[in-house]
A and B are shown apart, each in its own frame.
Chain A
Amino acid sequence: MGLVQTEKLGNCGSLQREAVGIKRVVKCYGSFEALKGVSLSIADNEFFTLLGPSGCGKTTLLRSIAGFEDVTEGEIALYGLDIAALPPEQRPVNTVFQQYALFPHMSVRENVAFGLRMKGVAQAERQARAAEMLEMVHLSEFGDRLPSQLSGGQQQRVALARALAPRPRVLLLDEPLSALDLKLRQAMRVELKQLQETTGITFVFVTHDQEEALAMSDRIAVMSAGEVQQVGDPRTIYEAPVNRFVAEFIGETNVLPVTVSDVSAGRARVALAGCRDLIAQAPEDLSPGAHHVSIRPERLSLADGGEADLTARVERVVYLGTDLQLLACLPNGASLTVRLQNTARTSLPLQGQELGFQIEEGAVRLLVD
C-alpha cells in the first residue's frame, strides 16, 4: 500500500497541476502570529491533510483558503489564479464545517441545492443534482426532513453533499469527523477517501487526529506553532519524521537521549546509556554530541534468548487485545514503551522481570530538536 502511494505521488509531482499554491502566508491577530510564513503546494486530485495540535494554525490556514480570514501577507493561488483578495462567495472552493452549519430552516434537499441556487443553476437541474448528491451519500429518502430531524452522522453526510453539489475545484474539510462517535468516524474515513477518489476533487482536510490523517491522506503537512514541520506521504511522516515534534505527534514513540559519535552517509553510531552502541538513521548535517533518537514501540521485539540490543525492567503490562503494551524502565532510568503482538505463543511478561529486546533494522532514528 505504501508502494502504491509512492507511485501515485511520483505522478503528482511530474504530471499533475498544482491545485492550491500557498506562498509565505502570514496571519497575525494583533501581535499574535497564527501563521508564520507558510508555504505549501497541494496537487490536483490529492487528498491533502493539515495535521497538528489545536492552535497550530491549521484551521486558520484552511479558513484563509476558503476566504473567511484575510491573510496579513503572502499569496494563495487556486489553479494558478491568485484568490487572496476574493471574498468567499467568489472562490470556487466549498467547505465542510466542523459543526456542519446546516441551515436549520431549510429541508435537507434545500440545503444541498443552496449553492447551486446561488450560482443561478436552473430549478430542474438543481433538483436533479441535489437528488444525485443525496443518493451519493445514501440519504435519498431524507430530502424532505429538516436537519434537526437527522442524526449526527446523517447531518455530516448532508454537509458533505451540500459542499460537493456545486462541484468545487477544491473541497475544504474542517475536522468534519470530530463530532462523531468512534465507530462512525472509522466508517466515514473509508467513505471520505472513496468519495475523494470517485469525484476526483482535491480534498484539503484539517484534523488533529493523526490516525485519521494516516488512514486517508495522500500527503500530510504536519503543523506546529504556525509553521509547517514536515510534508510527506503517511509512511514518510511516520517512519522518517524530520524532527522531534513530528516523531512525538505522529503515533506513539520512545524518545531517548543518546550520544552521537561518528556520522557518515546518513548513518550514525549512537551510544545509549546502559546499552550497546546502535546504528541510527541520521540527517547528513548532524554534528556529534548529545541528541535524541526515536524508536517506535512496535519496532521492538523480545530477544527470546537471542542477542539483546537493550535490556529493560518491566514495570507494567497493559493488555490491549490485539497487542500487549509493556511499560519498561531502561538501566539509565528512561522509560521505554514496547508493543508486542498478542500471539498464542506469548506468555505474558511479568512485572519486575528483566527482559532483553531486539530493535528492528533501521528503526532507530536520530531527531533534530
Chain B
Amino acid sequence: MAAEATSRSARSGTGWQGLVLPLLLPSWLVIGIFMLVPVALMAVYSFLTKDFRGGIVWQFSLDAYDQFFVERGLFGDEPPLPNWTYITIFWRSIWQAGLATLLCLIIGFPTAWFIATRNPRHRALWVFLITVPYWVNLLIRTVSMRFLLRDHGPFNEMLMAIGLIDSPLRIINTDLAVQIGLFYSYLPFMVLPIYAAVERYNFALSEAARDLYAGPWTVLREIVLPTVKPGIVAGCILVFVPSLGAFLAPDLLGGARTYMIGSLIDEQFRGSAGNWPFGSAVAMILLTMVLAVLLWQVRVATREKR
C-alpha cells in the first residue's frame, strides 16, 4: 500500500516535471515580449540618429548621450562644458523621490504598525481600506488633487475660513504640490510590505528586550527595525523607483520649474519636437540608476544573510 502510494506520487512527480516547461512558457513569453524587447529596443534607439519629424534614422550616433551630458554652445566651436540642464532635472527627481520615500516611511510605518496590531478579524478590513483609492484611476486622482490644492480650492478656502491664513497659499505648480502628489500616490506601496513584515513580527521579542532593560525607543531601534527591515526596504524600493520616473504628478501638479525625468522622457515621444533617441537615452540612464540602487540593495541583503 505504502509502496503503491510512493510509486503513484513518483509517477505524478515525473508527470509534473514534463509540464514545467509548457506551463512556464506563457510567462516567459509575456516577460520577453512586453519587457525585454522594449528595453532592448530602447537601448538600440538611444544609439541612433533622430529624424526631424519624430522617429529615428538607422544610423549609429552618440548624439543623444552627448546632448544629455555636454554643453556645446550654439556654434559648436566653444570648448565643451558639462550640461547641467538635464542633470538638474535628474537631481530634482532624485531628491523629490527620496523625500517622498522618507515621508511615506514616516507615515506608512506607524500606519502599518497600527493595522498589524489590530484584532486579526479587523486587519483585512483595514488593508482593504488602504487599497480603496486604487479603484480610481491615478490620472483622475491626480487631477482631483490639482482641484483640491489650487489657489481657491477647498484646501485654501478651508484654511482661510478657520482664519489660519489671510490669502491663499501658493501650492499648486510648486515642488510642494509635486511632493504631495508623489506621497499620496505611492503611500500604500510603503504600507503594505511593512504591514506584511510587522504582522509576522513576534511581539514577545519586544517584551524580552524590555525585560532586559531596553526602553521603548531602544526596542524600536535595536529589535523591531532590524527584524522588519526586509519589509521597510521593499516599501522604500516600491515608492522610490516609481516616484523617480513619475510624470503624472509633476505634469499635473507642478509647473515649468518642477520638471522631473518622467516629464522629460514623455516630451521626447509625444511632442512634435520629439527626439526619440534622446528620450531613449534618458530612459536608459534612469534605468541604469534604478538598477544600481537595486543591485546595491541585493548586495546588502545577501551580505547580511551570511
CA of A87 to CA of B219 in the docked complex: distance in angstroms? 13
The answer to whether B226 touches A95, judged by C-beta atoms less than 8 angstroms apart, is no
Contact present for A114 and B209 (CB under 8 Å): yes
Is the Cβ of A105 less than 8 Å from the Cβ of B227? yes
Interface stretch among A96-104, A129-137, A239-247? A96-104
Contact A66–B211 (Cβ < 8 Å): yes
Q: Are A114 and B212 in contact (CB under 8 A)?
A: yes
Residues of A contacting B215 with CB < 8 Å?
A: 89
Residues of B within 8 A of A89 (CB): 210-215
- Given known contacts A103-B223, A105-B227, A115 and B204 CB-to-CB distance under 8 angstroms: no
Which listed residue (A68, A99, A105, A162) contacts B212, Cβ 8 A?
A162
Known: A103-B223, A105-B226, A118-B218. A97 touches B204 (CB 8 A): yes
Chain B residue with the shortest CB-CB distance to A91: B211
A160, chain B: closest CB distance, angstroms: 13
CB closest residue in chain A, given B208: A101
Q: Does B202 contact A (CB under 8 A)?
A: yes
Cross-chain contact A87 with B210 (CB below 8 angstroms): yes
The A69-91 residues at the B interface (CB cut-off 8 A) are 87-90
Q: Mark B208-246, 1 if CB is under 8 A from A, else 0.
A: 111111110010000100110000000000000000000
In chain A between 110 and 142, which residues have their CB closer than 8 angstroms to a CB of chain B? 114-115, 118-119
CA distance A114 to B210 in the complex (A): 11
B211 and A94 form a contact (CB under 8 A)? yes
> Is B211 within 8 A of A104, CB to CB?
no
Determine whether the beta carbon of B223 is less than 8 Å from that of A88. Answer: no
B205 at the interface (CB under 8 A from A): yes
How many A residues touch B, CB cutoff 8 Å? 24
Of listed B209, B211, B213, residue having the most chain A CB within 10 A: B211
Interface of B is mostly: helix
- A118 and B212 in contact (CB under 8 A), knowing A68-B207, A103-B205? yes
Say if the beta carbon of A166 comes within 8 Å of chain B: yes
- The residue of chain B having its C-beta at the shortest distance from the C-beta of A162 within the complex is B212
Partner of B209, one of A87, A90, A103, A166: A103
Find residues 125-174 in chain A having any chain B CB closer than 8 Å to their own CB: 162-163, 166
Query: Which listed residue (A103, A104, A105, A119) contacts B213, Cβ 8 A?
Result: A119
- What 0/1 readout, one digit per residue, does chain B (158-173) give for beta carbons within 8 Å of chain A? 0000000000000000
CA distance A105 to B210 in the complex (A): 17
Chain B residues closer than 8 Å to A95, beta-carbon distance: 207-208, 211
Alpha-carbon gap, A90 to B223, bound state (A): 18
Shortest Cβ distance from A64 into chain B, in angstroms? Answer: 13
Nearest B residue to A88 via CB reads B210
Given known A101-B205, A103-B205, A104-B227, contact A166–B213 (CB-CB < 8 A)? yes
Q: Is the CB of A94 within 8 A of B227?
A: no
Interface set, chain A 255-307, CB cutoff 8 A to B: none
Residues 51-72 of A, flagged 1 when their CB comes within 8 A of B and 0 if not, give 0000000000000001110000
Known: A105-B227, A118-B218. A99 touches B211 (CB 8 A): no
A97 near B210 with CB under 8 A, answer no
Q: Closest residue of chain B to A93, judged by CB? A: B211
Looking at A99, A118, A119, which has the most chain B CB atoms within 10 Å of its CB?
A118
Nearest-Cβ distance from residue B221 to partner chain A, whole angstroms: 12
What 0/1 pattern do residues 182 to 213 of B give for CB contact below 8 A with A? 00000000000000000000101101111111
Distance in angstroms from B222 CB to nearest chain A CB is: 8
B212 adjacent to A166 (CB under 8 Å): yes
CB distance from A69 to the nearest CB of B (A): 11
Q: Once the chains are docked, how many angstroms separate the CA of A101 from the CA of B213?
A: 15
Whole-angstrom distance between the Cβ of B55 and the nearest chain A Cβ: 54
Q: Give A121 to B205 CA distance when docked, in angstroms.
A: 21
> Would B204 and A101 count as touching, CB distance under 8 A?
yes
Contact partners of A68 in chain B: CB under 8 A: 207, 210-211
11 new A-B pairs (CB below 8 Å) besides A89-B213, A115-B213?
A68-B211, A87-B210, A88-B210, A93-B211, A94-B211, A95-B207, A103-B209, A103-B223, A118-B212, A119-B213, A163-B211
Q: Which residues of B contact A (CB under 8 A)?
A: 202, 204-205, 207-215, 218, 223, 226-227
Residues of A in contact with B (beta carbons under 8 Å apart) = 66-68, 87-90, 93-95, 97, 99, 101-105, 114-115, 118-119, 162-163, 166
5 A-B pairs in the complex with CB atoms less than 8 angstroms apart:
A88-B211, A97-B207, A103-B227, A115-B213, A118-B214
